[in-house]
Copies of this chain bind each other. A is one copy, B any other.
Amino acid sequence: MGGDHAPVAILEGARGALTAYPDLFLHLVGDEARMAPILKHMGMARELIERTRIVHCASVVTMEDKATTILKEKKDASIRIAAQLVRDGQADGLVSMGHTGAAMVASMKEMGTLPGVDRPCLASVMPNLTGRPTVLLDVGANVDCKPEHIAQFAVMGAVYAEEVLGLPRPRVGVLSVGEEDGKGSATTKEAAQALRDLDLNFLGNAEGRDIWNGKFDVIACDGFVGNAILKSSEALAEGLLNGLTATFMENWFTRLGGFLAMPALRRFKKKLDYAEYGGAPLLGVKGITIIGHGRSNSHAVQSAIRAALTASEHRVNERILQSLARLLPESA
């Protein structure tokens, strides 16, 4: 029920995913009265309908709600019911385009945390012009992280990058203020030291620019920093692209120019499209949670479902447990 284009974009994305992935079964958690007519209108094939189940639930978390609303006022919100399906083993994973905080709280509360993980973290798959994304984590506002938290983020991010994004032997870094080992805060230096001793493809310190130049596949940081960078980057990229669009509307010359360049500009924008990568995984919970952007179109929804499916098929959580146990035995 969540996201700017719900439930239409969600249901269209669901249909796309059911068509593309024959082993997929979907629980559609939300208001049946709103979903049923859309599903009917979409005219899904019987074969697809047989692989869905509507889990009716009228209560929905809105963007105006606090993340913790599901603990008090809206205990039966759709996001919480969906998390309970995972908790109870009825579903392998949860996909939401709604309230990020609520999806995190619901997942942590209902599924619980993997042993060895102190804090689950939200990973953002940042598209860049090299065509190979970089996973930045935590972006979910786990503030005041200790070194071992950041090291755990790095390990979980590496597993996700390898298993779900298909990046072999991912190059891992800790975000800092300079490349040299001596640069950084007390926390990042200790986190880097912990990772340096491990069996990871750890390249050392990453800088802010390395989020975009393809030098790293995974960059771990405190959730305060990651969240600030994510929000800043979204606003900057959007501002630039909007400003550019406005520029093309200035006069007839620029309009014609924009018209001629449009197909190429579309291809350019597509390279940067987060819709390809299927949303942000919440890593470290006992289950799979993928949180898409509120603006997700049906393509982004389908990608998010694919990410959850791949995470399940590749047993990401088993791999995370193994990696944490092998790599950070003291915290297991």
Contact = CB atoms under 8 A, between A and B. Distances in A.
B264 A251 contact: yes
Interface residues of A, number: 62
Contacts of A241: 240
Contact of A209 (B231, B242, B247, B267): B231
Interface stretch (A103-111, A177-185, A318-326): A177-185
A228 B231 contact: no
Interface stretch (A160-168, A253-261, A308-316): A253-261
A131 to B, nearest CB: 11
B184 A239 contact: no
Contacts of A331: none
Give the number of copies in the complex: 2
A60 to B, nearest CB: 21
Nearest to A241: B240
Contact of A232 (B232, B259, B262): B232
A212 B225 contact: no
Contact of A261 (B143, B225, B232, B247): B247
Contacts of A271: 243
A221 B247 CA distance: 33
Given A177-B143, A243-B129, A264 B248 contact: yes
A45 interface: no
A199 to B, nearest CB: 27
A207 interface: yes
Nearest to A262: B257
Contact of A225 (B128, B224, B260): B224
A234 B210 CA distance: 11
A211 interface: yes
A55 interface: no
A173 to B, nearest CB: 12
Interface string A25-59: 00000000000000000000000000000000000
Interface string A211-240: 111000000010111011111111111011
Which one of A224, A248, A272 has the highest number of Cβ atoms from chain B below 10 Å of its Cβ?
A224
Interface string A78-121: 00000000000000000000000000000000000000000000
Contacts of A243: 129, 268, 271-272
Contacts of A248: 261, 264
Contact of A177 (B141, B186, B242, B251): B141
